[in-house]
Amino acid sequence: MSYRAEKYLDFQVDSRSLRESFFEDKSEADIRSLFLEVLHGGMHGICFSLYEDGQKPGDHISEAQIRRRMQILAPFTRWVRSFSCIEGNELIPKVAKDLGIKTLVGAWLGKDRDKNREELENLIQLGNNGLVDIAAVGNEVLYRKDLSVDELLDSIRQVKQALPNIPVGYVDAYYEFSQLPQLADACDVILCNCYPYWEGTAFEYSLQHMQQMYKQAREAGKGKPVIITETGWPSQGESLGNAVPSRANAMKYFINTQLWAMDEQVETFYFSSFDESWKVGAEGEVGAYWGIWDKNEKLKF
């Protein structure tokens, strides 16, 4: 009997029907047991959290630290996503490949043109070295208004020309690809972030909302492959509208999205692997609590 069949018999639920109502009569111990079954069944992909407590972007991170964290994730995922190609981040694809994990490798683009150049050059070099399965040119650059659309498109074209045999895309909120058809046209693959939490959606409607986000990105892609590059739910912190962080909601959201993604064969990268304290400044208290593992690399649930 397959793992998924056993899971469905154990919990008498089809992944397409998972909603808040399924969890109403389940204890936290029941939810935790299902969370662990789904986790051990394996994820398509997960976002790699690089920084330990006290570290932040700009710090140079060692290969030993990356390898230790990657070894924790390796039994649970087939892919990892990285966000940058400098300051130690360029070692993430190498370590992943050593452990037999596929890579979605990102070049972080911002307002610093010199760093952008270094990011793109390193992404291309990693691709030429056989360490990149999918290349992501920028992450939420347009959302932050760090580059113009034309500047971003130029960077995408540069990488596509240099890496003709590797799918190249750009990561941003799902709606950007609808609002900017030229962006979707420039990408080989649509890489969309889908966060019901950040749109203030109550948990009981979160899966349906995420599915609508994905559908909108698919329509914008006009037949191109679409990958959910980030989705998740925080385990603590401030509420946003009707979206409430909690350990229970974080576990339930993980269960819902993973079973739906398996059932519909949607390639999904869960956000995130480890809690990262530095994100408090950027996103408020809630920013530090998106991991499946805590900041000390212990499984939270």
Answer whether residue 1 shows pLDDT above 70.
Answer: no
For residue 13, the model assigns a pLDDT of: 42
* Higher pLDDT pick, 83 / 14: 83
pLDDT per position as a tens digit, 103-162: 999 999 999 999 999 999 999 999 999 999 999 999 999 999 999 999 999 999 999 999
Answer whether residue 12 shows pLDDT above 60.
Answer: no
- Quote the pTM value: 0.93
- In this prediction, residues 18-26 reach a mean pLDDT of 68
Q: Which residues contact 170 (CB under 8 A, 6 or more apart)?
A: 136, 137, 138, 141, 152, 156, 183, 186, 187, 191
> Which pair of tokens denotes residue 46?
């997960």
Does residue 265 form part of some domain? yes
pLDDT per position as a tens digit, 291-300: 999 999 999 9
Does residue 5 form part of some domain? no
Does residue 10 form part of some domain? no
- CATH number of the domain that residue 168 is part of: 3.20.20.80
Does residue 181 form part of some domain? yes
Does residue 2 form part of some domain? no
Answer whether residue 214 shows pLDDT above 60.
Answer: yes
Backbone angles phi, psi at 275, to 5 degrees: -60, 145
Using an 8 Å Cβ cutoff, are 190 and 227 in contact? yes
Nearest C-alpha neighbor of 123 from the set 74, 168, 154: 168
Does residue 98 form part of some domain? yes
Backbone angles phi, psi at 284, to 5 degrees: 85, 180
Mean pLDDT lowest among 12-21, 65-74, 93-102, 270-279: 12-21
Does residue 298 form part of some domain? no
Beta bridge partners of 106: 136
For residue 15, the model assigns a pLDDT of: 43
For residue 20, the model assigns a pLDDT of: 53
Q: Which residues of 205-244 are buried (b: 16+ CB within 10 A; e: fewer)?
A: ebbebbbebbebbbebbeebebbbbbbbbbbebeebeebb
Does residue 233 form part of some domain? yes
DSSP conformational letter for 140: S
Domain that holds residue 98: 27-51+63-288
pLDDT per position as a tens digit, 227-278: 999 999 999 999 999 999 999 999 999 999 999 999 999 999 999 999 999 9
Answer whether residue 25 shows pLDDT above 80.
Answer: yes
Domain count, the chain: 1
For residue 4, the model assigns a pLDDT of: 36
Tell me the angle at which helices 247-264 and 28-41 cross, rounded to the nearest 10 degrees. Answer: 40
